[in-house]
Structure 1
Amino acid sequence: MQKITVTLSLHSIDYPDNETDHTALLAIKSKLLDPSNKVLSSWNGSIHHCSWEGVTCGRKHNRVIGLDLSSRSLGGTISPFIGNLSFLTVIELYNNSLSGNIPAQLGHLIRLQVLTLRNNTLVGEIPSNISNCVNLRLISLGNNKLEGKLPVGLRALSMLTILIVEDNNLTGPLFDIIQNLTSLVSIFAHDNSFTGTIPNNIGRMRKLTNIEVGENELSGTLPLSLFNLSFLQEIEFNDNQLYGELPADIGFTIPHLKRLSLPGNNFSGSIPITIQNLTTLEVIAFGGNSFRGRVPYNFGNFRNLNVLSVAHNYLEGDISFIDTLFNCSQLSVLDLGSNHFSGILPKSVANLSTSLQWITISEAQISGKIPEGITNLNNLQRLVLSNCNLSGSLPQDIGKLYKLGLLDLSSNKFEGGIPNSFANLSLLEGLYLNDNILEGSIPAQLGNCQSLLNLNLAYNELNGALSNELFEGSASFVGVDLSENHLEGSLPLELGKQSNLEILRLSNNKFSSVIPDSLGDCPDLQYLYMDGNSYSGNIPSSFASLASLREIDFSRNNLSGPIPAFFSKFPKLYYLNLSYNDFEGMVPTNSVFANASEVFVAGNNKVCGGIKQLKLPKCSENQTRERNRLIIPIISALVGVVFMAVGAVGLYMACIRKKKTPRSSGSSMMGNVTIKVSYDMLLKATAGFSSENLLGTGSFGSVFMGILNGETVAVKVLNMQHRGASKSFIAECNTLRNIRHRNLVGIITACSSIDFQRNDFKALIYEFMPNGSLDQWLHGVDRNMNLAQRVDVAIDVAHALSYLHHECETPIVHCDLKPSNILLDNDMVAHVGDFGLARFLTQPQHPNQSSTTAIKGTIGYAAPGNNRVIPNYN
């Protein structure tokens, strides 16, 4: 016993801080969650803590110098007691589910060299006292939810070589903080909200090898000193706000460059011809800029080239430069869409690298045929040859491209039939053959494409009946568009098996017989267009279950019977066209039927009632009695509904002021929200998006005046390279597709064409407001409003907000209401516009949980500036 006592005493004297480490580790364990109960099972008193899993101790002092619990599926938080492990040099806790803040006590670890916490869900700011960890070489905090600015103290970490903070919510300056860290080798800071410019003295960071700062808000130009960093292998500045030209000698100053990624900015000028000297290049990504001129002709030197993307620029010249890609044996992505290329599609396309996964050549003046040998590219996953002048027949053996997930050959001049071999494309998710001259029947075998979600064969010369097999196979369609063909016969009952169907467009064919009851078994159906056919009979009662419907068009058929009352119970329905049929009886007056801009019943001579704007005859007593018998047998309930409706209408009419003339913006196109609009149509309508037609610019794009189908419209073209533009487009589409009101700016349609990654074209077409914005009238030098007009505008806006807040199924918050977003039509009726920041307001699930709506946009009142005020559709 005496010997043991002496031994313990000596141990305590030699290693007085061992107990400190032991206690700190137990405190760390207490904050961690170990779902498997295995990772931390060794952290107990049965063995020394230096033998615990993930713990490393130094040989000299037996102190904890390393803590590695990475990729262990651990949860919980990081205990502040980690700061008591004063000998720690390495902390590796990446690839877990840790939450909470990074403890400020990390600043006590002056010996720390490696800190890797990436791929967790950590929140809060990076501790400011991290500057005390002067020996740090590696900081890896990527893919968390950190926020705030980079600590100014980072400037003191002179030994730092790698900084990884990508995929967070960090803001503020980036290069102002790190520009003097001359030991830095790699910077990974993409997908944040960093601001500022790239300083000229970045050339002092001579060891820089990798710079990844895409998807931020950096501005200014790329300084020439950047291109003198001879060790650079990777430059990635995609999706920022940078501009300027690339230096002509770029091919001589950074000889080791492997990745040059600049899409989604506003770079201009030509692509330097010296880029051909950068034989180590693996990625060239210039999409979504303003580059002009020709593509450097010879790519034969790029033996390691993996990605060539120059889409959405103003490049021109013969597309035959594809011939020079023959030696690029590693090429996997070729994206040339939306430029001004011309010439004949080279046959050499079929002889490119068998590593090719993506080919996109769209919106180009190229002609020719698809080379028969295209099936040599057996790794193709995406083939887009749309909006060109290609012709000939579709290759019969295209079904050999077994890995194909997207095939878009739309808007060309392809003819002949659709090959049966398409049925072999088991991974195909999207097939777009619309806007061609294809004929014959639709192959029933397409129903066997088990991954097929979207099928668009519209605007062709297809004929015959639809096979049952098309809809009873393994395909699970989300969208089907067969409109504008010569299809005939009745719809297969098997259509009802498509339970995931959201969009069905069959317009302007020769379909006949009755609408199948089975279509009521598609609960997710949102857009149903069956107009311009020869359907007869009643609308099936099974349609009462289609509560997700937003748009319905049954116009120009031979349908009969009463108008179903259940349409008025569909909460999302905002467009119902029943015109030119043989319906009869009373037209409801509630829900979708309460707005003349949402419901169309012209050409039905046996209908009556409805709201007065529909100008229908009053229902006779017999018609009213029959309607009551069929729909509301309890007379007292009907009387109550009538009194409530009359009261609501009376209250509404008491609020609005009388106008001398009706609203002028209810154009014919507004009655057809599915007007087909292509990029070429918009190009023509706006005179090539000319500056003369420019109404103004906003946060996410520009607005042009255009003449579309003989009517004046406003065309909002989004800059999809601007951070947040895609979300704005989706938000505005989702909002405006769910609402219709006389005091909201109406959307006529949306135009979208997809290209490489996010470099796509999206536009919204609105009603044109000839009297501009309220901002102009309040602050313009040549316009003024009297008191009565101002009161009218205030009432209009109040009606719009009341509708958004109280009358929609889900309340909507505009989030950016200001004078420039209030537009005036020809009669000075005010309309609220710009729903790019709008939010659907959901109810909190818990008492302490706030709404999901975040208030964004201009805070309070935005005072007028010195610039010319323009109508704000943005």
Structure 2
Amino acid sequence: MQICIATDEQSLLAIKAHITDPNKILATNWSQGTSFCTWIGVTCSRRHPRVTALNLFNMGLEGTVAKEIGNLSFLTYLNIRNNSFSGAIPIEIGNLRRLRVLQMSFNQLDGEIPIEMGRLSNLTYLNLEMNKLNGEMSQSIFNLSRLTLLSLVGNELSGTIPFSINIGLPNLERLFLGINRFTGRIPDSISNLTNLKILDLANNSFSGHIPITLGNLHNLETLNLQVNQFTNDLSIPEQDFITPLTRCSYLINILFSVNPITGLLPKSIGNMSTSLENFSAFSCEINGIIPDEIGNMSSLISLALAKNDLTGMIPPTIGQLRNLQRFGIEDNKLWGSIPYSFCNLENLYYASLEGNALSGQLPRCMGNLVSLRELYMAKNEFSSNIPSTLWSFEQILAINLSHNVFDGSLPLDIGNLESVVVLDLSGNQFSGEIPITMGQLQSLNALVLSNNKLHGRIPESFDNLKSLQYLDLSHNNFSGEIPKSLEKLSDLVYFNVSFNELSGEIPDGGSFRNFTPDFFRSNNGLCGASRFNVEVCKMNNRKSSNKSRLLRYILPPIVAIAFAATISIMYLRYRSRKSLLLPKSNSHFDIIRHRMSYYELLRATNNLDEANLVGRGSIGSVYKGIFDNEMIVKVFNLELQGALKSFDTECQILSSIRHRNLVKVITSCANLDFKALVLEYMPNGNLDKWLYSPDNFLNFTQRLRIMIDVASAIEYLHEGYSSPVIHCDLKPSNILLDEDMVAHVGDFGISKLLTQDQRIAQTKTLGTIGYMAPEYGSAGLVSTSVDVYSFGILLMETFTRHKPTNEMFLGELTLKSWVFEALPNDLMKIVDVDLLNVDEENFGAKNEMLKSIIELALECTNNSPEERLNIKVALLRLKQIKFELEEMRPEKNLL
């Protein structure tokens, strides 16, 4: 669709037909004799159009911007933000001489910025960010003398900042040029833009010295020079990159990170603006000490000095920063103990001191840090016992004290860490047994106790750690058996007990089916299945053998006969209940239309034989069944909390929706004690297997098509059904692949069905860590934006082959931040190595497509739900990339 103006009532109706959300039409006015539709801010006359404002913000529109836009000569306001417009900006836009506001951000516009834009002499606001504009930036833009805001962030523009910028843009207040390909120096003349409040040049290839004349920008509030090649002018005695900025009394944010600045942190840092809240200078090759004067920065909220060459001790004056919430000084050369004044930082939320040479005891007063949620002190030389106050943090989320010299035993108080998700105490000298209270840590996702001197048994209480995914107890002195109850931990993907003194049988159920022999080696007393490379266990007595035989061979047929008899009696009574009956479909599985009996289900799965087990989930197991066709049987374990509700939810949702990219429900089996769904069989398993199994590989095109399939399914759930359906748990294991590698979204056990008028809901049932949107994980708020966020994470994971829960993502580093930092020039560092080869003929084209995909993923994972893309927009952009790929394929063999 193109931007158009209705000239009659029929045209007006045509426009409205493209705008499905009535709230997007703020007002309409049609009266006899009026020749143009009227929206808020739009005035009309009979003979000549006097359209003064056109607002098409966030309407899901696509196509090109028509050149006829230039005919709206009375236009003063044009906003097409957050749509899917593509193609070039028409040169006719230069005819809109009255235009004051031009907002075209978050589209797919490409080509160069037309030089004709320089004729918009009344323009005060120009925002073209997050498009695909390229080429050198037209110098005519820098002659729009009334401009107060210019934003070109997130394009592919090149060139330099003109030295006459102060002459052409005397009224400029906000300049955003980040995430482009600009080069050259910052001209000294920029310091004459006396009204400038925000200067953002981040993520480009600017170079040269940071001008000392920036100190003349007395109204400057934000200076963002991150990720460039700026240096400090060391040729001038006493010159540094901080002192000139002390004259900017309104500064709030100073961001220098990832530049080869070098030099010292001067004492003048204490003279910075009293309003300064963020100071970021990590990876800047800064050396020397942290000056005591840093304590004068009383309003500081975030201080990031990581990955430099800082030496000396942490100054005691750090305790004066009472408003500090984030403190990052990791990977430097600091030594000495943590000053007692550190405990004064009562608002501290995040602290990372790892990778230094800090030593001594942790201050006992650390219990004063009541706001602390993440603490990283790994790879230092801390010693002695950990103060008991550290175990009083009921709200802390992550603690990493690994690779120090801590000793003593782990106290019972460790069970107070009710909210902790990651606990890493590896590489120390802890001794004694694991306290039984550790089984109370219900939120724990990763527990690492390896390389210590711990002994005793692995606590049975570990089976209460329902969220546990990563458990490493290797290189200790544990003895006794591995508790068989650990088979209950359905989310466990890593379990390492190697190099201990364990004995007895290795459990073979649950997640243990996926573990390799390396996880159990150097435990001479272990026995079990041959795939673990240990001896086969010997039965202790005949009684145990008889009991096992009874449970395995005799009891199942008896139970099956009893259930079959019960079902036969109750069948007619329950057959008329429609809540669990599925409507007929047009698929090739129409052979089975009735509800399946329990006896039929047992026969098809060979009495739910373990040989037919496909996998286990959080609320039950999945078996392969042979009916007239191969199908999947999902059996719900009704002993588990939430299983019955999950069954009802899947029945309610899957019984009434149909889409080629959703897993089809064929029928169900239900009685008072047994619930199961029969689903379409997917012979190629799930996406998780294809991403991480060494025997499988997906090429670029296959991954793109799978993501398009997933986006198509989510778009249908959000917009193609009578009421929005929120999946709530998008992740690779829930993306199933049929024989043609077409993706199908499955597992709707925690999905939410909103009412027609409902846009947001609240739930206590959470999805999978790493894939949940911030508002979902923290407050249980569910909307369509939750699925968009998960889709963005899934998109990143699919093309980087890195899980968001990868052990490398600790502290401040997440999958999202790791991906963001690699753009735009270090894409090779993050994408799957099997997807990009610099020697292949079409490396450049594929690299650009991958860049577009990663940028799309970042737009989907915005922390603000309102700023995330609509899934429809994301789908359109992926399809465009696929179209470009297919256009190149015949000639360039891009696959």
Name the TM-score class by shorter chain: 0.5 to 0.7
* Whole-Å separation in 1 of the counterparts to 2:523 and 2:828: 32
1:343-376: CA deviations, max 9, x gaps? 1121111111111111001112211121212121
What code does the residue aligned with 1:283 have? I
Kindly indicate whether the alpha-carbon contact (under 8 Å) linking 2:800 and 2:832 is maintained by their aligned counterparts in 1.
Answer: no
On the 8 A contact 2:166/2:190 being kept in 1, the answer is: yes
Q: AA paired with 1:428?
A: L
Question: Is the Cα contact below 8 Å between 2:828 and 2:836 reproduced in 1?
Answer: no
> Is contact 1:632-1:638 (8 Å) kept?
no
Compare CA radii of gyration and give the structure with the larger one.
Answer: 1
CA distance in 2, matches of 1:863, 1:610: 52
Among candidates 476, 481, 500, match of residue 419 of structure 2: 500
Q: 1:403 to 1:583 in 2, by over 3 A?
A: same
In structure 2, stretches of 5+ residues that fail to align are: 1-5, 13-20, 234-238, 558-605, 615-622, 626-682, 685-691, 696-786, 862-870
Deviation at 1:170, TM superposition (A): 5.7
Give the C-alpha shift of residue 611 in structure 1: 5.0
Q: Distance in 1 between matches of 2:554 and 2:388?
A: 45
Q: State whether residues 753 and 760 of structure 1, in contact with CA within 8 Å, keep that contact through their aligned partners in structure 2.
A: no
SS state of the match for residue 179, structure 1? helix
Match of 2:641 in 1: none
- SS in structure 2 at match of 1:300: helix
Deviation at 1:257, TM superposition (A): 1.9
2:457 and 2:479 in contact (8 A); partners too: yes
Structure 1 unaligned blocks of 5 or more: 1-79, 87-97, 118-126, 657-663, 668-723, 741-745, 781-816, 822-832, 841-849
Residues 578-727 of structure 1 mapped to structure 2, 5 A cutoff: 578-597=497-516, 600-610=519-529, 612=531, 614-622=532-540, 634-636=551-553, 644-646=609-611
Match of 2:186 among 261, 271, 279: 271
Q: 1:729 to 1:484 in 2, by over 3 A?
A: farther
Once residues 484 and 89 of structure 2 are traced to their aligned partners in structure 1, the CA distance between those partners, rounded to angstroms, is: 60
Moved more, 161-170 or 373-382: 161-170
Give the match for residue 122 of structure 1: none
Other-structure match for 1:180? 95
Matched, 1:258 2:173: yes
Partner of 1:102: 25
Q: What are the Cα deviations for residues 694-736 of structure 1, in whole angstroms up to 9, with x where unaligned?
A: xxxxxxxxxxxxxxxxxxxxxxxxxxxxxx9998883367679
1:96-175 mapped onto 2 (5 Å cutoff): 100-102=23-25, 105-106=28-29, 115=40, 134-140=49-55, 142=57, 144-148=58-62, 152=66, 154-167=69-82, 174=89
Match of 2:332 in 1: 412
Identify if the C-alpha distance between structure 1 residues 522 and 436 changes in structure 2 by more than 3 Å, giving closer, same or farther: same
Contact in 2 for aligned 1:576/1:592 (Cα 8 Å): no
1:327 aligned to 2:247?
yes
Cα distance, 1:414 vs. partner?
1.3
| 1:247 aligned residue (155, 162, 166) | 162
Q: Corresponding residue for 1:284?
A: 199
> Residue by residue, what CA displacement relative to the aligned partner does 1:669-700 show, whole Å, maximum 9, x if unpaired?
xxxxxxxxxxxxxxxxxxxxxxxxxxxxxxxx
The whole-number CA distance in structure 2 between the counterparts of 1:349 and 1:624 is 79
Query: Once the two structures are aligned, what percentage of the paired residues are identical?
Result: 29
Instruction: Quote the residue 2:353 is aligned against.
Output: 433
Residue equivalent to 1:53: none
Distance 1:451 1:103 in 2: 44
2:276 maps to which of 332, 351, 356: 356
Q: Tell me the equivalent position of 1:94.
A: none
Aligned equivalent of 1:730, options 788, 793, 796:
793
Distance 1:632 1:278 in 2: 86
Residues 53-85 of structure 1: per-residue CA shift (max 9 Å, x gap): xxxxxxxxxxxxxxxxxxxxxxxxxxx9xx9xx
Q: Which structure has more strand as a fraction of its residues?
A: 1
CA contact (8 A) 1:481 1:505 kept: yes
In the alignment of these two chains, the number of paired residues is 633
- What is the TM-score when the length of structure 1 is the normalising length? 0.63
Kindly report which structure 2 residues correspond to 1:168-567, keeping only aligned pairs within 5 A, or say none: 174=89, 178-318=93-233, 320-473=240-393, 476-567=395-486
Q: Say what the alpha-carbon RMSD is for the aligned residues.
A: 5.0
What's the counterpart of residue 568 of structure 1?
A: 487
Letter in 2 for 1:369: I
* Amino acid corresponding to residue 413 of structure 1 in structure 2: K
- Indicate conservation of the 8 Å contact 2:25/2:39, yes or no: no
SS state of the match for residue 511, structure 1?
A: strand
Structure 1 residues 567 and 868: CA distance shift in structure 2, 3 A: farther
TM-superposition CA deviations, 1:519-572 (whole Å, max 9, x none): 222222111111111121222222212222221111111112222333333332
Tell me by how many angstroms 1:100 deviates: 4.3
What's the secondary structure of 2:286's corresponding residue? strand
CA distance in 2, matches of 1:487, 1:624: 48
Deviation at 1:760, TM superposition (A): 3.2
- 2:434/2:454 contact within 8 Å kept: yes
Closer, same or farther: CA 835–728 of 1 in aligned 2, 3 Å = same
State the AA in 2 paired with 1:206: S
Residues of 2 paired with 1:356 and 1:601: CA distance? 53
**Cα 1:158/1:170, change in 2 over 3 Å:** same
Residues 472 and 497 of structure 1 are in contact (CA less than 8 Å); yes or no, is this contact kept in structure 2?
yes
Q: Secondary structure at the match of 1:535?
A: strand
Conserved in 2, the CA contact under 8 Å of 1:112 and 1:133?
A: no
CA apart distance, 1:316: 2.1
Q: Which amino acid aligns with 2:25?
A: I
Q: Decide whether aligned partners of structure 1 residues 769 and 344 sit closer, same or farther in structure 2, where only a CA change above 3 A counts.
A: closer
Task: Please state how far the C-alpha of 1:225 moved relative to its aligned partner.
Answer: 0.9
Q: 1:625 & 1:554 partners in 2: Cα distance?
A: 34
Deviation at 1:320, TM superposition (A): 0.6
* Residue identity in the other structure for 2:536: K
CA distance 1:622–1:733, shift in 2 (3 Å): farther
Q: For residue 132 of structure 2, give the secondary structure of its aligned residue in structure 1.
A: coil
The superposition leaves residues 635-664 of structure 1 with CA deviations (integer Å, 9 ceiling, x where unpaired) of: 448999999345669999xx99xxxxxxx9
Q: What TM-score do you get using the length of structure 2 for normalisation?
A: 0.61
Equivalent pair of 1:350/1:376 in contact (CA under 8 Å): yes
SS at match of 2:175: strand
Q: SS of the residue aligned with 2:240?
A: helix
1:498 and 1:312 map into 2 onto residues whose CA distance is: 38
Change over 3 Å in CA distance of 1:359–1:101 after alignment to 2:
closer
**Distance change in 2, residues 1:331/1:643 (3 Å):** closer
Q: Is the 8 A contact 1:439 1:460 kept in 2?
A: yes
- Aligned residue identity for 1:494: D
Please list the CA deviations of residues 369-392 of structure 1 after superposition, one character each: whole Å capped at 9, or x if unmatched: 212121211111111011001111
> Do 2:29 and 2:38's aligned partners in 1 also have CA atoms closer than 8 Å?
no
Distance (Å, rounded) in 2 between the aligned partners of 1:253 and 1:141: 30
